[in-house]
Amino acid sequence: MSDKVWVSAAMSDSRLLTTLRADIFDSPNFQEVNQFLVKNEYGYPFSVEHFPKKIYWVGAGKKKKKLAPFFNTGLFYVSEELANVLRQFDLGECGLYPVTLYEKDRKTVDDRTYFTINFGNRKRVFLPNESPAARVGPLDTEEGETRRLPMVPDHDLIAVSPAALIGPDLWIDENLAVGIFVSGRLYDALKAANLARVFGFKRCRIVVQA
């Protein structure tokens, strides 16, 4: 149903880390790249020039590896199939930027199509006082203290205000680190396309405060 909200911990799921390297990590401006990566995780919008044009395999082995529809290399990527579902919804300032996937030789192009995703939308709808299972997280220098999802996420452990139902269908909350929120209607579409499982979505409680 569209009056639901779901949250995913996929951004910090180690099973979705891959042995791919993005060309921006070859930049000598490491501090600048690192600041960008942090901002990207917190849902700040960035234009296409900040994102990689190429990603390539690293590590041992020559076998073409299977990639999940959503995966992590320090940045976050979605498959063409997943991108096509996302584009049917209100993405606000979320960006899907095409990237070319190369083999280890950095010359041979892999024929699969992927996009770097910039979540690009921030809401302040997470209710920490109604979500005691959320852990105290890092300090964001601009936002103050944040929380993190529970070590073992489950349905209804994260509470949000009704304002979560307004605006883009995909967002990051300003006060909950590395949690990907989606609307009920986007979740339903992802589930229908067999693309929800990789995210491990958990249902949020919508709490009306007095």
pLDDT at residue number 1: 45
**Euclidean distance between CA atoms 160 and 77, whole angstroms:** 26
Q: 134: which residues sit within 8 A by CB, 6+ positions away?
A: 126, 128, 147, 148, 149, 150, 157, 158, 176
CA atoms within 13 A on the CB side of 102: 14
pLDDT at residue number 40: 92
Q: Tens-digit pLDDT profile for the chain (210 aa)?
A: 468 999 999 999 999 999 899 999 887 787 888 889 989 999 999 999 999 999 999 875 555 578 999 999 989 999 999 999 999 999 999 999 999 999 888 899 988 999 999 999 999 999 999 999 998 866 554 555 678 898 888 999 999 999 999 999 999 999 998 899 999 999 999 999 999 999 999 999 999 976
* % of the chain with per-residue pLDDT over 90: 71
**Euclidean distance between CA atoms 190 and 63, whole angstroms:** 29
**Euclidean distance between CA atoms 107 and 101, whole angstroms:** 10
Q: Contact, 22 vs 55, CB < 8 A?
A: yes
Token readout for 120 is: 């690009």
**Pick from 137, 148, 132, 121: nearest CA to 207:** 132
